[in-house]
Chain A
Amino acid sequence: GAGVSQTPSNKVTEKGKYVELRCDPISGHTALYWYRQSLGQGPEFLIYFQGTGAADDSGLPNDRFFAVRPEGSVSTLKIQRTERGDSAVYLCASSTGVRSPLHFGNGTRLTVT
């Protein structure tokens, strides 16, 4: 079946612009995670959704970052007033529950010029 889908695959934007990154989880997966992976680092947790609600947003670095999952399926990560330091690969993952493995998408590479 289809895996986790992330769009766009690559995004180049200018400093100060607004961007939206989309994640389509595997059908039926109630848990959805966003991670950020900077060059040469492991993924760092941003936010976790259980259904429509953000159960843990402790990883969001500041109030420029926001994520939604209005119908409990597709999620959008929104970044306002982008900065060059926001350049990274943004990974999305989904799972069926607490003790189930996470399935990752191919990520979106964001470059802020």
Chain B
Amino acid sequence: AQTVTQSQPEMSVQEAETVTLSCTYDTSESDYYLFWYKQPPSRQMILVIRQEAYKQQNATENRFSVNFQKAAKSFSLKISDSQLGDAAMYFCAYRQPQGGSEKLVFGKGTKLTVNP
């Protein structure tokens, strides 16, 4: 079964600085998707960024970018120019687009604190 590991339970960053959240995963498949979701206290899971495994280019969404290392099965999230509103739980997730389920498998999350 696929697993997702987030080794940093908590991280903190100063406002306007850069922070990187780590994620590793385990799979024997070659076609899959990886995601970072943000969960503020409202509980809603908000999609931050996604990466298709077949694309070598790292995904970027404004201040958010990923470092996707397929051979190492690593998928880290970099947040640049951190803002107070970035404070939340961040979850890394894996999804396999075939096999009958297409379910997301989540890591345990990293709590990000942004200090003013």
CB atoms of B97 and A55 under 8 A apart = no
| A65: min CB distance to chain B, Å | 16
| A35: min CB distance to chain B, Å | 8
**Nearest chain-A residue to B97 (Cβ)?**
A98
CB atoms of B102 and A42 under 8 A apart = no
- Count contacts on A: residues with CB < 8 A to the other chain: 27
| A56: min CB distance to chain B, Å | 4
CB atoms of A55 and B101 under 8 A apart = yes
- Count contacts on B: residues with CB < 8 A to the other chain: 26
| B40: min CB distance to chain A, Å | 10
Cβ of A43: which chain B residues have Cβ within 8 Å of it? 45, 91, 104, 106
Question: When chains A and B are docked, how far (Å) is the Cα of A102 from the Cα of B44?
Answer: 12
Cβ of B106: which chain A residues have Cβ within 8 Å of it? 42-44
| B89: min CB distance to chain A, Å | 9
| B7: min CB distance to chain A, Å | 13
CB atoms of A42 and B107 under 8 A apart = yes
Give B61-116 interface residues, CB cut-off 8 Å to A: 91, 93, 97-98, 100-109
CB atoms of A99 and B104 under 8 A apart = no
Which positions in A face B, CB cutoff 8 Å?
31, 33, 35, 40-45, 48, 55-56, 58-59, 89, 91, 93, 98-99, 101-107, 109
Which positions in B face A, CB cutoff 8 Å?
4, 6, 33, 35, 37, 42-47, 50, 91, 93, 97-98, 100-109
Cβ of B98: which chain A residues have Cβ within 8 Å of it? 98
CB atoms of A48 and B101 under 8 A apart = yes
What are 21 sample pairs from A and B whose C-beta atoms fall under 8 A apart? A31-B102, A33-B103, A35-B104, A42-B107, A42-B108, A43-B45, A43-B104, A45-B104, A48-B103, A55-B101, A59-B103, A89-B43, A91-B43, A98-B102, A101-B35, A101-B47, A102-B45, A102-B104, A103-B47, A106-B44, A107-B44
CB atoms of B105 and A45 under 8 A apart = yes
